Amino acid sequence: MRRSRAVAAATVTTVAVAGVGLAVADPLGLRDRPAPSAADVLPEGVASFVEVDLEPELAQQIQMADFARHVPGLASRLPGMAGGDVKQHLATAIVRQAGCRDVDYARQLEPWLGERVALAQLDDQTRVLAVQATDEPAARRGLPALLSCAGWSSGQVLYSDGYLVASNTAGGAGEALSMATRGVLSSNASYESDTRRLGPRGVVTAWAWGGLAAEALQRTDASSGAATLRFADGALEAKVVARSRQDLPTSTSHPKVADLPADTSVAVGISDGAERADWLWESLERLGVRGDLQRAATERGLDLPQDLDLLLGKDSRYAQAPGGAGESLTVTGDREGLQRLVSGGQLDKDGIAVHADKDDTILTADTDRAHELSDPDVTLEEDGDFRAAVARPDHSQLTFFADRDGIERLLLPRLGAQQRAEFVDVKAVGLNTHVEDDDYQVAVGRVVVG
- 317-352 pLDDT, tens per residue? 999 999 999 999 999 999 999 999 999 888 988 899
pLDDT higher at 431 or 252: 431
Q: Each residue of 131-147: pLDDT tens digit?
A: 999 998 899 888 888 88
pLDDT higher at 164 or 274: 164
What's the pTM? 0.85
Same-domain check for residues 292 and 431: yes
Instruction: Please indicate, yes or no, if residue 251 is contained in any of the structural domains.
Output: no
Q: What 3-state DSSP class applies to 41?
A: coil
pLDDT of residue 273: 83
Count of residues making up the chain: 450
Can you tell me the mean pLDDT for 388-411? 91
Same-domain check for residues 170 and 288: no
Same-domain check for residues 116 and 265: no
Same-domain check for residues 93 and 151: yes
- CB-based contact 330:362 (threshold 8 Å): yes
Q: pLDDT exceeding 70 applies to what percent of the chain?
A: 87
Could you write out the DSSP letters of every residue in 17-28? ETTEEE----TT
Strand 360-364 to 353-357 pairing? antiparallel
Expressed as residue numbers, the domain containing 376 is 257-449
Q: Is the dihedral of CA 175, 177, 182, 187 positive or negative?
A: positive
What rounded mean pLDDT belongs to the chain? Answer: 84
pLDDT higher at 84 or 77: 84
pLDDT of residue 277: 84
Same-domain check for residues 134 and 81: yes
pLDDT of residue 245: 84
Which residues are registered as beta bridge partners of 332? 315
Can you tell me the mean pLDDT for 236-258? 85
Whether the pLDDT of residue 179 is over 50: the answer is yes
pLDDT of residue 16: 26
pLDDT of residue 78: 53
Can you tell me the mean pLDDT for 229-257? 85
Same-domain check for residues 40 and 123: yes
Strand 360-364 to 398-403 pairing? unpaired
Instruction: Please indicate, yes or no, if residue 234 is contained in any of the structural domains.
Output: no
Instruction: Please indicate, yes or no, if residue 233 is contained in any of the structural domains.
Output: no
Instruction: Please indicate, yes or no, if residue 223 is contained in any of the structural domains.
Output: no
pLDDT of residue 274: 83
Same-domain check for residues 76 and 174: yes
- CB-based contact 206:229 (threshold 8 Å): no
Q: Is the dihedral of CA 189, 195, 197, 201 positive or negative?
A: negative
